């Protein structure tokens, strides 16, 4: 696949969730029909919660923001200002001899880990726990979430990385169904990094992991 066949979209103003979902649905359909480019869209949302296919009603503790049902995997997730979301619409049939969802999720984890390393932050996987984790003086905390959906082996949804969100907003849910560990951000780790710098790091790391 040629390098310029990948479209990169970047939005600096918050994007309403239904608008983002409609775009992804349309792009996945276009890719499946053979007339659409693969795409990565970096954006942020206004404060909201999304419920994945495994969401448990009791994990919605205080619905202080709009709640959207979505077809991605996973449980409840918060999105809001200060968090960078990366939606990836990729054709997995072009990535390997046989499409492999487990490898794709591993590659998303690697994308985040390499991005964090560019800011001298060590992101880590944890067996049985979705997302990327970092060690803090208070113990390990989650800094990035992953939630994907695949249709006709074409991906949508993706990742979210906490730059400097209001972490108290996570108190309205049990993030990803995990109550034993907290949530953190680059800001809380002492890293004052702009969204534009994070976008540049995400793009550079993506190309190294996915081969563009």
| DSSP string computed for 154-191 | EEEEEEEEESS--GGGGGGB-GGG--SSEE--TTTTT-
Supply the pTM of this predicted model.
0.94
Q: Domain count of the chain?
A: 1
**Integer Cα distance of 52 and 30 in angstroms:** 24
Q: Give me the active site residues, please.
A: 176
> Do residues 78 and 45 lie in contact, with contact meaning Cβ atoms separated by under 8 Å?
no
CATH number for position 105: 3.30.930.10
Q: What is the mean pLDDT of the chain?
A: 93
Indicate the pLDDT class of residue 212, thresholds 50, 70 and 90. low
Indicate whether 96 pLDDT > 90.
no
3-class SS of residue 12: coil
Instruction: Say what the pLDDT of residue 211 is.
Output: 78
Looking at residue 131, its pLDDT comes to 92
Q: Report the share of the chain in percent with pLDDT over 70.
A: 97
Neighbours of 98 (CB within 10 A): 9
Distances (CA, A) of 70 to 81, 118, 192, 195: 20, 31, 32, 25
Closest CA to 188 of 125, 129, 142: 142
Q: Which residues contact 1 (CB under 8 A, 6 or more apart)?
A: 38, 94, 212
Give the highest mean pLDDT range of 1-10, 121-130, 198-207: 198-207
| pLDDT per position as a tens digit, 14-45 | 999 999 999 999 999 999 999 899 999 999 99
Element (H, E) at 87: strand 83-89
pLDDT in tens, 127-185: 888 899 999 999 999 999 999 999 999 999 999 999 999 999 999 999 877 778 899 99
pLDDT at 71 > cutoff 90: no
pLDDT at residue 3, as a whole number: 44
Domain hosting 150: range is: 3-210
Task: Give pLDDT, residue 74.
Answer: 86
Distances (CA, A) of 25 to 20, 28, 32, 97, 151: 9, 5, 11, 25, 10
What confidence tens digit (pLDDT) does each residue in 119-137 have?
999 999 998 888 999 999 9
Across the strands, what pairs with 173?
A: 60
Q: Is 9:26 a contact under the CB 8 Å cutoff?
A: no
pLDDT at 2: 41
């Amino acid at each position: 696949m040629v390098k310029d066949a990948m479209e990169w979209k970047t939005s600096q103003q918050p994007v309403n969730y239904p608008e983002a979902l409609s775009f992804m649905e349309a792009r996945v359909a276009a890719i499946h029909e053979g007339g659409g480019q693969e795409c990565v869209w970096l954006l942020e949302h206004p404060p909201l919660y999304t419920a994945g296919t495994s969401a448990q009603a009791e994990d919605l503790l205080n619905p202080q923001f709009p709640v959207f049902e979505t077809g991605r995997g996973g449980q409840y997730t918060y999105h809001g200002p200060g968090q960078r979301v990366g939606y990836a619409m990729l054709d997995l049939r072009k990535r390997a001899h046989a499409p492999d969802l487990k490898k794709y999720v591993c590659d998303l984890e690697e994308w985040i880990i390499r991005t964090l390393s560019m800011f001298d932050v060590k992101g880590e996987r944890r067996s049985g726990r979705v997302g990327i984790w970092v060690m803090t003086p208070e113990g390990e905390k989650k800094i990035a979430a992953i939630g994907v959906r695949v249709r006709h082996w074409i991906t949508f949804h993706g990742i979210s990385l906490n730059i400097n969100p209001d972490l108290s907003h996570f108190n309205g849910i049990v993030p990803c169904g995990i109550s034993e560990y907290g949530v953190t951000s680059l800001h809380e780790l002492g890293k004052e990094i702009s969204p534009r710098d994070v976008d540049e790091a995400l793009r550079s790391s993506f190309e190294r992991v996915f081969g563009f």
